Structure 1
Amino acid sequence: MTWRWEYDPSEEHVAAGAPPAFVAEVEKAADELVRAAEALYLDGRAYREMGPKGAVTNLDDGMFVYLTVPRSQCVYIRQVTCL
């Protein structure tokens, strides 16, 4: 299993109404978060500590809320807000 990101519960729910250019910006930032998580949690499936709390990433035109779950080796995008 390799690290990935996904919308939680779905892209339609999380990014509804956001312009496609902004969604592309969110997805690019999510790719970077996945690379960082992969480096920080080398064997995420064996991770047994308390999981990290959710976080916010600010972008030029808005923000998004995400949750990193090491044991699932996944970054979940929970909310997208476009200004």
Structure 2
Amino acid sequence: MSDWSWDYNPSAEYLTSGLPPGVVAEVERLATELAALGHEATRPRGHEATKVGRPFDREGGLRQFDIMNSRGFISFLPVPRHRCVYVCGITWYG
């Protein structure tokens, strides 16, 4: 079990307004998985959540991850100090 969590930033209402329920469910499922990767930070391998998604050439900072077969993507920020993955943006092409 991960001691990391995830949250929407700025808010769930702002980021998910107008999105289909299935997309919101997929975003929340991925955020849960990303928080579970954050748990790896307690091991010597490093902060796994800071390496997932784009950009591929560096770790840390704002990351992006495709959702629903590239029909959109999420932008997220893993913050090891807070032990939290923040979902900062959702782009849905429909």
Fold shared by both chains (TM-score > 0.5): yes
Counterpart of 1:76? Answer: 86
1:17 equivalenced with 2:27 (yes/no):
no
SS of the residue aligned with 2:90? strand
Displacement of 1:15 in angstroms is: 1.6
SS of the residue aligned with 1:75? strand
CA distance in 2 between partners of 1:16 and 1:57 (Å)? 20
Whether the aligned pair in 2 keeps the contact of 1:56 and 1:65 (CA below 8 Å) is: yes
Q: Tell me which of 16, 41, 56 is aligned to 2:64.
A: 56
Counterpart of 2:4? Answer: 3
Amino acid at match of 2:85: V
Counterpart of 1:46? Answer: none
Counterpart of 1:36? Answer: 37
SS of the residue aligned with 1:25? helix
Whether the aligned pair in 2 keeps the contact of 1:18 and 1:81 (CA below 8 Å) is: no
TM superposition score normalised by structure 1? 0.82
- Structure 1 or 2: more helix by fraction: 1
Deviation by residue 1:3-29 (Cα, 9 ceiling, x = unmatched): 100000100111211111100001111
SS of the residue aligned with 1:71? coil
Whether the aligned pair in 2 keeps the contact of 1:4 and 1:74 (CA below 8 Å) is: yes
Let me know the Cα RMSD of the aligned residues. Answer: 1.5
TM superposition score normalised by structure 2? 0.73
Q: Which one scores higher on RCO, CA 8 angstroms, separation ≥ 6?
A: 1
The runs of 5 or more residues in structure 1 that have no matched partner are 44-50
Whether the aligned pair in 2 keeps the contact of 1:8 and 1:78 (CA below 8 Å) is: yes
